[in-house]
């Protein structure tokens, strides 16, 4: 696990960015989390003698901040994506100010763009930092309607996430709501989506990107362990049997996708509701466009730069 890793070709922003991983593990501990099953992540967790659900700093705090300043000083790292395997607002590091200090070091560096995607909530100090460097920040709040069950194991703080996103927008950041991952048949009904989208509009949040849950054998096993059998079986029955490799030359990015007819109808449903309310919106082309679900949906696909 390197602190900065160049983006992969075939991913968002055409690979012209760097992931930054200041933490190892993630306290959100979602059942669908792909990160815990990536070989480099599990190896790093073992090396730290930790557990994925109990994140630790990649290195001692002072050394971490110094390394961030050092590696960004020459301007070769232009776009930083936080984070691929965790969340910059990981609760213990957000609470002790580490998250803020990391963001401040990046904002004060020659880095041109800092992309935050989070299930956390930006603190007032972070929002002030965004207001000071508004052109540098893209703030992406992960939020979606709540159906009969959740696969997130952390506290239900959707309202707080969205209110922080609204404040980030007022501070000048480019703000997008990420409905990721949508559970078909659970979170994509008009009865849930309509009020959710209306609530976004009231907060002044008018940009949405959505994508769908992908599953592999390990994720399916966790779902079966943690949901009642009826719910788990109904959810997993909506998926194809074969797995498709998402990223080139990375065989641990193979996942089963939704049955095409179910996915197509869901995309039509979500995009129609967004369109009639005047949202800017896209379907994630990396995670949800690999199987060619495009024709007849009326939904634009992400060009790789929608929220960058």
* Residue ranges for the chain with pLDDT beneath 70: 8-15, 245-252, 287-296
- CATH number, domain of 23, equals 3.80.30.30
User: In this predicted structure, what is the pLDDT of residue 292?
Assistant: 55
Whether residue 183 lies inside any domain: the answer is: yes
| Residue 138: exposure state from Cβ atoms within 10 A (0-12, 13-18, ≥19) | buried
Whether residue 269 lies inside any domain: the answer is: yes
Whether residue 89 lies inside any domain: the answer is: yes
**Domain count of the fold of the chain:** 1
Whether residue 240 lies inside any domain: the answer is: yes
Q: What secondary structure, in 3-state letters, does 187-232 show?
A: CCCHHHHHHHHHHHHHCCCCEEEEEECCECHHHHHHHHHHCCHHHH
Whether residue 304 lies inside any domain: the answer is: no
Domain that holds residue 207: 4-288
Are 184 and 227 contacting, i.e. CB atoms less than 8 angstroms apart? Answer: no
Q: Which residues contact 52 (CB under 8 A, 6 or more apart)?
A: 25, 26, 29, 35, 36, 41, 42, 45
User: In this predicted structure, what is the pLDDT of residue 110?
Assistant: 98
Residue 82, phi then psi, degrees to nearest 5: -110, 120
Whether residue 69 lies inside any domain: the answer is: yes
Overall pTM > 0.85: yes
Torsion from C-alpha of 89, 90, 94, 100, nearest 10 degrees: -50
pLDDT tens readout for residues 224-281: 999 999 999 999 999 998 877 666 666 667 788 899 899 999 999 999 999 999 999 9
Whether residue 198 lies inside any domain: the answer is: yes
């Amino acid at each position: 696990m390197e602190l900065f890793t160049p983006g992969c070709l075939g991913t968002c922003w055409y690979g012209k960015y760097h992931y930054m991983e200041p933490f190892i593990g993630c306290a959100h501990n979602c059942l669908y989390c792909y990160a815990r099953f990536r070989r480099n992540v599990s190896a790093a967790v073992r090396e730290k003698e930790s557990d994925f659900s109990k994140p630790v700093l990649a290195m001692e705090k002072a050394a971490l901040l110094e390394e961030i300043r050092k590696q960004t000083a020459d301007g070769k790292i232009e776009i930083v994506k936080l984070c691929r395997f965790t969340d910059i607002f990981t609760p213990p590091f957000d609470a002790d100010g580490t998250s803020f200090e990391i963001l401040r070091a990046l904002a004060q560096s020659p880095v041109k763009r800092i992309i935050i995607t989070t299930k956390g909530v930006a603190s007032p100090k972070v929002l002030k930092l965004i207001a000071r460097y508004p052109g540098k920040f893209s703030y992406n709040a992960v939020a979606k309607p709540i159906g009969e069950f959740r696969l997130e194991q952390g506290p239900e703080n959707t309202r707080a996430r969205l209110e922080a996103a609204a404040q980030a927008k007022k501070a000048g950041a480019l703000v997008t709501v990420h409905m990721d991952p949508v559970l078909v048949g659970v979170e994509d009904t008009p009865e849930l989506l309509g009020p959710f989208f209306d609530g976004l509009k009231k907060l002044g949040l008018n940009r949405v990107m959505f994508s769908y849950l992908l599953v592999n054998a390990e994720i399916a096993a966790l779902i079966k362990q943690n949901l009642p059998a009826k719910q788990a079986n109904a959810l997993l029955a909506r998926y194809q049997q074969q797995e498709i490799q998402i990223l080139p030359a990375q065989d641990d990015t193979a996942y089963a996708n939704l049955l095409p007819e179910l996915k197509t109808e869901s995309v039509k449903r979500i995009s129609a509701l967004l369109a009639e309310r005047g949202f800017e919106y896209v379907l994630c082309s990396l995670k949800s466009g690999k199987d060619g679900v495009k024709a007849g949906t009326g939904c634009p696909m992400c060009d790789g730069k929608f929220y960058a």
